Amino acid sequence: MNRPVPVRIGHSACPHDCPSTCALDVEILDERTIGRVRGSEDMDYTAGVICAKVARYAERIHHPDRLTVPLIRTGPKGSGQFRPVSWDEALDRIAEAFVAATAQHGSEAVWPYYYAGTMGLVQRDGIHRLRHAGRYSNQFDTICTNMAWTGYIAGTGRLAGPDPREMAKSDFVVIWGTNAVATQVNVMTHAIRARKERGAKIAVVDVYRNATMEQADMALLLRPGTDGALACAVMHVLFRDNLADRAYLAQYSDVPAELEAHLATRTPEWAAAITGLSVAEIEAFARAIGTTKRTFLRLGYGFARQRNGVVAMHAAASIATVAGLWPHEGGGAFHNNGAIYHLDKTLIEGADLKDRSIRNLDQSRIGAILTGDAQALRGGPPVTAMLVQNTNPVNVAPEQRLVRQGFAREDLFVAVHEQFMTDTARMADVVLPATMFLEHDDIYRGGGHQFILLGPKLVEAPGEARENHFVHVELARRLGFEHRGFRMSPREHIDWLLSHSGWGTLAELEEKRFIDCQPEFERAHYLDGFGHPDGKFRFKPDWTRVKAPNDGPMGPHGDLPALPDHWAVIEAADEVHPFRLVTPPARSYLNSTFAETPSGRKREGAPAVLMHPDDAARLGLAAGVRVRLGNPRGEVVLALKLFDGVQPGVLVTEGIQPNAAFEGGEGINTLTGADPVAPFGGAAFHDNKVWIRAA
């Protein structure tokens, strides 16, 4: 009798740009083939649950359209005309271009450009070692986190908070500024556990009725960019109704009396006019927080997508201090745990080679940089050579017309290391085939939890696909760069990182699979004081001195409000542009990743915009018609869907579809702006005024 051969299970970690960083169990069918991917039940944050797109990862890793050989362009830029070449020829061509750019304009003319296509610390961050060894232009990362991180740290003094597993021990879970069902499913795992086991209520604050809001007991559907007004009104009610924890405030905050006086006019009526919520909704939300010490505020990256996002995040986090939530298990405000890991990435990044006189170029302003804006170039030479890894800027960066114009320059050499022929790869001179996470060794840390996780190589890559580390090492060899990190394997890097950061060894991590780095309760809940020198939460931060990643003050930083408030710097609707457009993530895509999978494309369909039926009726627009959206940055065409889960005057289009999915080949980021957001820069992807008309 034939018995089925047991399927071998490999263990890994999700590499994608999601705070959940799930621990994974992967079916290994043979040396090149995987089967199902499941969430590991052994790791209690993942708790056996992962998103549908990663569960179907076999569909992506074995996709017939994967790049498997190096390519060199033979036709016009963007034509998709390439010829296969050897790795040696491709790498030689890149090295020659970097040498030529350096000889003509200096080393800063070369710009290695990267981001979060993988969150692995070796494969993602090793590009900096190449950058610093060549004295190439630095990249200031602004496209995702700046406003949210800065706003949170402004109050707490540290990018860390309560153990996110404590959501399951909460009596009131507030999910604010994140569609967790689509973008970090494990938030829902723990929130729903609290509901089932404790009878906890779930509140969701967002700008449209998404899959997370549909799970809420209390849904607050507000206008985009008005979160700060809601937060201030909540704190007004807490002070007014004697629900503020005055003893806690006296011990743990800087200016509680000044804040209370400031909030005296920030009434629910004031906030209702700004947010579009009713006074009753605001009052009920505030009272629920004020009467529930185990309230857990899970604050997401939606705050990082508005021009006033830093102020809004700070205001929302301030609620936990006014209500005195921090001392309680299942209480407080959590955004990200980045400060708990203390990882020494000196050898991975080549930090010991860094020359601080080399300019920083703003990642979000790639369009302005590549089209020669002197300010964006920081007064330095033009960028004439690039290596792009882990990102797809021609699709995902703001001000897409400028970005495309820059990449079309004949004097710009671009090498793209990719898994698929993305919009950016099509504009390249050299395209290199890249591995996926199960095909190389790496190490990960969670943002939404507190674990370090190992992601070992489990299967062989198809064709000639090579890992990022291989590209860094081989280019360094051709360019004559010396550094110990170029002589180390990824496993050696992981072992050095762990041992020099106080987390043991690779052998120990291989045995344990992940390390729980959660600080003790007192530190996580700031019972030993907040992260400022005096140990107090800052209601009144010195904005340009907040200890968050920055390249100096940017944007209208001089106008930032001194205390929590609604800061009216959003791109407000006007007579010509009467609608506000938000571009949140789609459930089946992660930025531009997964847009190539058949199941994702089938679920998401063609690009569409969601509009309130009352707005459509007023404009004489019917469901399904083609509409054109526009503003001074450009225009796009998509289908209209009627949807009463937005406030009138608000438009929503989900996900970053490939540019080719749109008529004319211009994607949704044609409409988004790259102007730096105060105080430390950032891209306000959900903050756009537009007009709409029948196409």
Query: Which of left, alpha, beta for 194 (phi over 0: left; psi -120 to 50: alpha)?
Result: alpha
In whole angstroms, give the CA distance from residue 299 to residue 293.
17
Q: Are residues 81 and 176 in the same domain?
A: no
Residue 195 CA from chain centroid, whole number? 28
In whole angstroms, give the CA distance from residue 203 to residue 221.
11
Q: Are residues 114 and 255 in the same domain?
A: no
User: Among the residues of 206-302, which ranges form H helices?
Assistant: 227-240, 246-252, 256-262, 268-275, 279-290
Name every residue whose Cβ is closer than 8 Å to that of residue 553 and which is 6 or more positions away in sequence. Answer: 544, 678, 679, 680
Kindly report, residue by residue over 300-313, the tens digit of the pLDDT. Answer: 999 999 999 999 99
Q: Are residues 117 and 220 in the same domain?
A: no
Instruction: Answer for the pair 178, 301: CB distance below 8 angstroms, yes or no.
Output: yes
Name every residue whose Cβ is closer than 8 Å to that of residue 480 and which is 6 or more positions away in sequence. Answer: none
Q: Are residues 329 and 435 in the same domain?
A: no
Any domain includes 687:
yes
Q: Are residues 605 and 512 in the same domain?
A: no
The average pLDDT across 103-114 equals 98
In whole angstroms, give the CA distance from residue 131 to residue 114.
11
Q: Are residues 386 and 456 in the same domain?
A: yes
Can you give the pLDDT at residue 455? 98
Q: Are residues 29 and 118 in the same domain?
A: no
Domain total of the chain: 4
Kindly report, residue by residue over 291-350, the tens digit of the pLDDT. Answer: 999 999 999 999 999 999 999 999 999 999 999 999 999 999 999 999 999 999 999 999
Name every residue whose Cβ is closer than 8 Å to that of residue 517 and which is 6 or more positions away in sequence. Answer: 337, 340, 341, 445, 450, 451, 452, 503
Q: Is 79 helix (H, G, I), strand (E, B) or coil?
A: coil
Q: In what order do the strands lie in the sheet with 33-39?
A: 8-13, 23-30, 33-39
CATH of the domain at 37: 2.20.25
Which residue, chain included where needed, has tokens 């005096």? 534
Any domain includes 45:
yes
**Do the strands 82-84 and 71-73 form a parallel or antiparallel pair, or are they unpaired?**
antiparallel
Any domain includes 466:
yes
User: Last residue of a domain, which of 62, 80, 106?
Assistant: 62
Percent of the chain with pLDDT over 90: 95
Any domain includes 348:
yes
Q: Are residues 180 and 327 in the same domain?
A: yes
Any domain includes 150:
no
Domain residue limits at 34: 8-62
Can you give the pLDDT at residue 4? 63
In whole angstroms, give the CA distance from residue 73 to residue 80.
8
In whole angstroms, give the CA distance from residue 392 to residue 2.
48
CATH of the domain at 678: 2.40.40.20
Instruction: Answer for the pair 494, 515: CB distance below 8 angstroms, yes or no.
Output: no
Can you give the pLDDT at residue 2? 60
Any domain includes 465:
yes
Q: Are residues 665 and 644 in the same domain?
A: yes
Q: Are residues 79 and 119 in the same domain?
A: yes
Kindly report, residue by residue over 180-229, the tens digit of the pLDDT. Answer: 999 899 999 999 999 999 999 999 999 999 999 999 999 999 999 999 99
Q: Are residues 265 and 134 in the same domain?
A: no
CATH of the domain at 109: 3.40.50.740
Any domain includes 166:
yes
Instruction: Answer for the pair 235, 288: CB distance below 8 angstroms, yes or no.
Output: no
Instruction: Answer for the pair 490, 441: CB distance below 8 angstroms, yes or no.
Output: yes
Q: Are residues 327 and 346 in the same domain?
A: no
Average pLDDT, the chain: 96
Any domain includes 84:
yes
The average pLDDT across 131-154 equals 97
Kindly report, residue by residue over 359-407, the tens digit of the pLDDT. Answer: 999 999 999 999 999 999 999 999 999 999 999 999 999 999 999 999 9
Question: What is the crossing angle of helices 268-275 and 279-290, to 10°?
Answer: 120
Which residue, chain included where needed, has tokens 């089946």? 588
Kindly report, residue by residue over 536-593, the tens digit of the pLDDT. Answer: 999 999 999 999 999 999 999 999 999 999 999 999 999 999 999 999 998 888 888 9
